[in-house]
Structure 1
Amino acid sequence: MDTRSPGGLFARHRRWMYRDGRPNWLARSLNRFAARQFSVGWAPRNWVTLEVPGRRTGRTVEVPVVVADHGGGRYLVSMLGEDANWVRNVRAAGGRAVLRHGDREQVRLDEVPEAERAPILRRYLALAPGARAHLPVDRHAPVAEFAPIAARYPVFRIIPGPTPPAAGAGGAQAH
Structure 2
Amino acid sequence: MRAWNRVDAWWFARGPARLPQAAVLEVRGRASGRARSVPLAVADVGDGEYLVSMLGPGAGWVRDVAAAGGRAVLHRRGRRRDVVLEPVPADAQVPVLRRYVAVAPGARPHLGVGPGASDAELRRLAGTVPVFRVVPAAGPEPGR
Output the TM-score relative to the length of structure 2. 0.89
165 and 64 in structure 1: CA distance in 2 versus 1, 3 angstrom threshold: closer
Q: Which has the higher contact order (CA 8 A, sep 6+)?
A: 2
Cα distance in 1 for partners of 2:15, 2:25 equals 13
Matched residue of 2:12: which SS?
Answer: helix
In structure 1, the gaps of 5 or more residues are 1-24, 170-175
Cα distance in 1 for partners of 2:139, 2:79 equals 17
Residue 75 of structure 2: aligned partner: 100
Q: Which runs of 4+ in 1 moved over 3 A?
A: 161-166
Q: CA offsets per residue over residues 8-53 of structure 1, 9 Å max, x none?
A: xxxxxxxxxxxxxxxxx4xx43322110112226411220110000
Residue 156 of structure 1: aligned partner: 132
Q: Give the alignment of 1:133-144 within 5 angstroms.
A: 133-144=109-120
**Which one has the largest radius of gyration?**
1
Q: Give the alignment of 1:1-175 within 5 angstroms.
A: 25=1, 28-40=2-14, 42=16, 43-101=18-76, 102-163=78-139
Q: CA RMSD in A?
A: 1.9
Judge conservation of contact 1:106–1:163 (CA < 8 Å) in 2.
no
Output the TM-score relative to the length of structure 1. 0.74
Equivalent residue pairs, number = 141
Report the AA paired with residue 105 of structure 1: R
Cα distance in 1 for partners of 2:62, 2:139 equals 18
Cα distance in 1 for partners of 2:132, 2:19 equals 20
Deviation at 1:144, TM superposition (A): 2.5
Deviation at 1:161, TM superposition (A): 4.1
Judge conservation of contact 1:110–1:158 (CA < 8 Å) in 2.
yes
